[in-house]
Amino acid sequence: MSRSNFVYTSHPARVIFGFGTTRQLPEEVARLGASRALILSTPPQKGQAEQLAALLGGAAAGVFAGAVMHTPVHVSEQAVALASQKRVDAIVAIGGGSTTGLAKAIALRTGLPQVVLPTTYAGSEMTPILGETNEGIKKTQTTPKVLPQVVIYDVEQTMSLPITLSGTSGMNAIAHAVEALYARDSNPVISVLALEAIAALARALPKIAQDPGDRDARFDALHGAWLCGTCLGAVGMALHHKLCHTLGGSFDLPHAETHTIVLPHALAYNAPSIPEVIASLETIFGEEPALALQKLARSVGAPISLAEIGMPADGLDRATEIALTNSYWNPRPLEAGPIRQLMQRAFDGATPWVEGRKTA
C-alpha cells in the first residue's frame, strides 16, 4: 500500500441490507418524520411502486411511475409539480438508476428526504452525483443535496431481475469500482472497497447467468454493487464515465449496456498509465483485465458492441468531439486520435487494445 498522504471523504447514509428488508420501509419513513411519501418508479415497475404504497398505507401520498433513462429535465419537473400538488414530505424510489436519478433530481429542487430501494446493481443510490439530460446533452453535478437519507437493500427485490439486466447492471457497477482505482483522488480506503466489490461481482454474475435463483450469488452481487456505488460516491470520474455520459445523453443509448461495452476499452486506453492498478486487477482476473472484462460481459450475455445497442456509425466523430469538450482529469492525456480509435473498437465489438501489451 502506498504510504503517501490521502484524503477520504465519507457520506452520511443509513443502509439496511439483507433479505426481506423492504418490510422496514414504514419504520424508515416514520424515522424521517414523514407522513406523505411519493413513490417513484419506471412504467414497468409501477406494480412494485403500488405494493410499496400499500405497505405504507396512509403514509403514501401517491405513485409517479414516469422515471426514464438519463433523467430528462422535463420529467423531473413533472414529478416536482406532482409532489407540490400532493404536499409530499418524502420521496421513496424503487428501481434502478433511472428511478434513483429522478429521486435525486426532485431532492435537488425541493430538499425532500429520500428512501431508495434498489432493484438493480446500478449503485447510484450511494453517490452525491446527479446526471440530467436536457436537449440531448447530459450534464453531471456533484452535491450532497442529492444524497438519499436511507437506502434499503433487499436481496429479494433483485431475485426476479432478468439475467441480461443482471449482467449489464452488474458490469455497470464494476465500471464504478474500476475507475475509482485510478481516480485523481483515489485512496487506500476506496481501493480496498473497489477490489472487494469487483471480485464479488466477477464471482456472482456468471453464477446468476447460470442460475438466476442462486440466493448466495444474488447476495454477493448486491453487496458488491453497494460497495461499487460507495466508491463512485467518494472519488472523481475520468474518461470512462465521460464517454458513457456522452453516448447516453447525446445518442440515447441504454445506460448499463453502454458502460458494459465501453469499460474494457476505456481501461485499455488508460492501462499504460496505471500499472499498479492493472497489477491489482490481474490478481482478481488472472489475465489482462481489459480482456477479462469483455469476456465477463460475454459470459453474462451482455452486448459488447455499440452497434448492437443502436449507436449510429456516423455519430462516432461527434461523440469523440463531445467527449473532448471541457477539460477533465484522466491518468493518460486525452488524445483525439486514440480516443476515436477506442470508440471505433467499442462500436465494432473488437478486442480491447492495450498499448505495448498483447491483448489478442
Other CB atoms within 10 A of residue 12 CB: 7
| Domains, the chain, ordered by start | 14-158 (3.40.50.1970), 163-348 (1.20.1090.10)
Other CB atoms within 10 A of residue 37 CB: 28
Give dist(CA 317, CA 290) in Å, integer: 23
pTM score, whole prediction? 0.90
Rounded to 5 degrees, what are φ and ψ at 115? -120, 125
Give dist(CA 38, CA 52) in Å, integer: 10
Give dist(CA 186, CA 152) in Å, integer: 27
Give dist(CA 119, CA 48) in Å, integer: 10
Of 255, 273, 256, 280, which is closest to residue 178 (Cα–Cα)? 280
User: What is the grid cell recorded at 269?
Assistant: 486506453
CA 109 to centroid of chain Cα atoms? 22
pLDDT tens string, the chain, 360 residues long: the values are 556 788 877 777 899 999 999 999 999 999 999 999 999 999 999 999 999 999 999 999 999 999 998 899 999 999 999 999 999 999 999 999 899 999 999 999 999 999 999 999 988 899 998 999 998 788 889 899 999 999 999 999 999 999 999 999 999 999 999 999 999 999 999 999 999 999 999 999 999 999 999 999 999 999 999 999 999 889 888 999 999 989 988 898 998 999 999 999 999 999 999 999 999 999 999 999 999 999 999 999 999 999 999 999 999 999 999 989 877 899 999 999 999 999 999 999 999 998 776 555
